[in-house]
Structure 1
Amino acid sequence: MNITKENIDALNAVVKVDITAEDYQEKVASVLKDYRKKANIPGFRPGQVPMGLVKKQYGKSIMVDEVNKLLQESLNNYLVEEKLDILGNPLPKVDGDFNWDAENFSFEFELGLAPEIKVDLKAGKVTKYNIVANDELINKEVENLQTRLGNKIEQEEVAEVSTIEGTFTNEEKTIENKATVTLEDIKGKLNAKKFIGSKVGDVLELKSKNLFNENAKLAQSLGLEANEVEGLETPLTFTIEAINITEPAEINQEFFDKIFGEGVVSSEEELRTKIKEDAEGQFAQQADQHLLNAITENLIEKTAFDLPKEFLIKWLGTAGEKPLTEEEAAAEYEKSEKGLRYQLIEGKIMADNDVKVDFQELKDYAIGFIKQQMAQFGQNNPEDKELEDIAMRVLQNQDEAKRLQSQLISSKMLDLFKEKVSFKEKEVSYEDFVKEVYK
């Protein structure tokens, strides 16, 4: 057997695998011998079928099978031994003159080679937001808590301060969802007028467009996903089932204990401090995710390199369960190119900075994730053995294992970026952060 590689250019190569009869005949003979022992052919006792008959009936298919096995194994070994960093998988070149009746065979494969990449983590600048919970936000959260724990007082009709419970329906869109709204949620005076003075049992005729100040409230009220209410214009009915006003809860020790547990907070100052800490902890996660996204976009933009585009389009056309046309494969390439570029950039950064994920780290990360999940359901002190058993079951699911590994890598990359990337820091309120980032 002989394997050679011809470089077409820096990103494309062709590997040729020459296989001679001596490379596969011994294995074919061994398989034929085993077939002869098991062959069940009328007129012959088991194990007594003439070898010539076995060869005639099975010889060619066995030879083809063994040559293909040998070809795949030798090609894979060659790629590993030569340390070839390829994109996609080798693509066989079609030879119109190929003949399985020959004894010696030549196979050619196209390779797409990964480009040489140089990543400068200092290139470009991004903004690292430090989101603070200001007094306005803390005041609003205190009011929300007072309302949530306050006393509900039934009302005969809707007033400006009412909380209205009811069901939104639309038969055509199969919407039937219970919701609680206030007039603060409602957009515009004309919509608000439809609610004012209404009573339990009244059915209001409304329109989804411009009904609420925020699309998130519309999605929540209709029981739909956020993307499902984008541009939604449909008539709605809202059947009023309860009308209340809420008498805010008094700020005292009973109030503190209901929110945080007995004795955790003992003054309004401590309450406000706790709200600030909790809010800023959540904001930090959003700021970190934005920072990671911003650095990712910056690296993709600033790190220039070529890809074997024609090869990748051809490979994408054959990689899935269903073959794609050249146009479909080209469209798929355009959709996936950005992700592939970052994949290569990330791999280079990890190699240059010795960022790795071993199984023990992944298991520890899974255990930490599981502990958080259990804590949300009030299970705060699970045993180590129980956590490890659950983690091992989770990691046996390949999709879950990949998802957790991706999250862990992102966490490690974020830590590395915070250490090495140049960025400017900016302290903002959450409201200003939303305005700047999600314009």
Structure 2
Amino acid sequence: MNITRNNVDALNAVVTVEVSKNDYASKVEKVLADYRKNANIPGFRKGTVPMSLIQKQYGKAVLLEEVNKLLQESLNNYLVEEKLDILGNPLPKVTDDFNWDADDYKFEFELGLAPEFTVDLAAKNNLTHYKIIADETMLNAQVARIQKQYGKVISKDKVEEGNDVSGVFSNEEKGINNRTTLDMELFADAKTAKKFIGKKVGDVVTLKTKGLFNDDHKLMDVLAIGHDDVHGLDIEVNFTIDEVVGYEPATLDQELFDKLFGSKVVTSIDELKAKIKEDAEQQFEQQSNQKFLNDVSEYLIEATKFDLPAEFLKKWIQTAGENPLTEEQAAEEYTRSEKGLRYQLIESKVITSNGLQLTFEDLKEYTSNLIKKQMAQFGQMNPTDEDVQGIVARVMSNQEEVKRLSEQLMSEKILNLFKEKVKTKTKEVNYENFIKVMYGEA
């Protein structure tokens, strides 16, 4: 057997595999001999069927199967030995005059080669890493929500100031029909809240969506519509009241603090706000990190220039799925997936260039820490190491879970690397302004 490679250019190559009769003959003979031993053909005792008959009946199929197995094994070994970094899979070149009746065969395969490039994480950029703070307005609002949540609920006959109203938003033309509960204090204009004062169950209040809330995204929740539909929405909606609820706020005392956080963890309103701030900003950090990771990823795709073997990949896409695609369909799929492929290559380069490999011990420790956090959420603050490791063992026996956790851990490693090496501006914002940035409105 002889394997040679012709590099068409930096991104494309053709591998030629020459198979001689000596490479496959003994394998074919052995398979046919096994067939002969077990063949059950009328007129012959088992094991006495003439080899010529076995050859005639099974010879071509066995030849094709054995040559194909030999071909795939040899090609795979060649790619590994030559350390070729390919995209997709090798594509066999179709030969119209191929002759299976010959003794020797020649097969050609097209290869799409991964491009050579470098990723400069330290290059100058215009990226911003946002630090989201829980400001005093948010803290006061959260304290008020706690007082309402743990206060005494009072059913009302009619709407008074400070009440909540439940009911159904509707607009037939836009297909809006959604039940929700409204906090009067969330309206952008106090005049809107006054429209509800004195209303009773069954009354209908007509509202304009434009400027109804300070944050248009609130409309997404109360009307149950998508983000693309909510911006610039300027229609009238009817709100049919079906329940009026008043509250007697809970007293901010030690009993409430203990109920919220445990005995003596919080002992004053200032400590309450500090605890709320700490918890909120921990959650905000996750959202900020995700945006940072997304922004750096987008930046690297734009800033890291390299070519791809586009025509090869389009041909590969045609045959890669369960159902073959037309050239046009494959071209469309390539256009949709090109950006993702580019980032996969960039991410792989970042991982290898910076030694971000995962070890079993890394994954085991990461899983252990996650389990401890989850147990703490359910009040198990000091689980034994034996209990934790028992759960870790069960989790890591599930291959799907191992894959998911490995992806999470690698994403965390990449995030930390980006924080260390990608030089960005840091900007403090409150949550409201961060949401505007997220949706490109700031």
> Where in structure 2 are the equivalents of 1:62-73 lying within 5 Å?
62-73=62-73
Summarize the Cα distance change of 1:385–1:20 in structure 2 as closer, same or farther, 3 Å threshold.
farther
> Where in structure 2 are the equivalents of 1:263-412 lying within 5 Å?
263-378=264-379, 384=385, 387-388=388-389, 390-391=391-392, 394-395=395-396, 398-412=399-413
Gaps of 5+ in 1: none
Q: Quote the Cα distance in structure 2 between the aligned partners of 1:27 and 1:235.
A: 79
SS at match of 2:8: strand
Q: Quote the Cα distance in structure 2 between the aligned partners of 1:360 and 1:30.
A: 47
Moved more, 158-167 or 292-301: 158-167
Q: Is the 8 A contact 2:219 2:230 kept in 1?
A: no
Moved more, 405-414 or 74-83: 405-414
Return the letter of the residue paired with 2:353: D
Q: Quote the Cα distance in structure 1 between the aligned partners of 2:242 and 2:342.
A: 54
Q: Quote the Cα distance in structure 2 between the aligned partners of 1:187 and 1:41.
A: 88
Q: Quote the Cα distance in structure 2 between the aligned partners of 1:240 and 1:79.
A: 70
Query: How big is each residue's C-alpha offset from its partner over 1:166-208, in whole Å with a ceiling of 9 and x where there is no partner?
Result: 45679999987653222344577897677443323x1648689
Q: Is the 8 A contact 1:218 1:229 kept in 2?
A: no
Summarize the Cα distance change of 1:172–1:128 in structure 2 as closer, same or farther, 3 Å threshold.
closer
Q: Is 1:435 equivalent to 2:430 in the alignment?
A: no
Q: Is the 8 A contact 1:39 1:46 kept in 2?
A: yes
Q: Quote the Cα distance in structure 1 between the aligned partners of 2:207 and 2:331.
A: 42
Q: Is the 8 A contact 1:206 1:237 kept in 2?
A: yes
Summarize the Cα distance change of 1:395–1:236 in structure 2 as closer, same or farther, 3 Å threshold.
farther
Summarize the Cα distance change of 1:413–1:229 in structure 2 as closer, same or farther, 3 Å threshold.
same
Return the letter of the residue paired with 1:124: K
Q: Is 1:61 equivalent to 2:94 in the alignment?
A: no
Q: Quote the Cα distance in structure 2 between the aligned partners of 1:131 and 1:116.
A: 38
> Where in structure 2 are the equivalents of 1:5-404 lying within 5 Å?
5-125=5-125, 126-166=127-167, 178-185=179-186, 195-200=196-201, 202=202, 204=204, 213=213, 216-221=217-222, 226=226, 240-378=241-379, 384=385, 387-388=388-389, 390-391=391-392, 394-395=395-396, 398-404=399-405
Moved more, 162-171 or 27-36: 162-171
Summarize the Cα distance change of 1:28–1:128 in structure 2 as closer, same or farther, 3 Å threshold.
same
SS at match of 1:9: coil
Q: Quote the Cα distance in structure 2 between the aligned partners of 1:205 and 1:102.
A: 86
TM-score normalised by length of structure 2: 0.88
Instruction: Give the deviation of 1:344 after TM superposition.
Output: 1.1
Return the letter of the residue paired with 2:160: A
Q: Quote the Cα distance in structure 2 between the aligned partners of 1:284 and 1:246.
A: 33
Q: Is the 8 A contact 1:194 1:204 kept in 2?
A: no
Summarize the Cα distance change of 1:389–1:330 in structure 2 as closer, same or farther, 3 Å threshold.
farther
Summarize the Cα distance change of 1:57–1:203 in structure 2 as closer, same or farther, 3 Å threshold.
farther
Gaps of 5+ in 2: none
Moved more, 393-402 or 164-173: 164-173
Q: Quote the Cα distance in structure 2 between the aligned partners of 1:137 and 1:193.
A: 24
Return the letter of the residue paired with 2:62: I
TM-score normalised by length of structure 1: 0.88
Identity of aligned residues (%): 55
Instruction: Give the deviation of 1:124 after TM superposition.
Output: 2.6
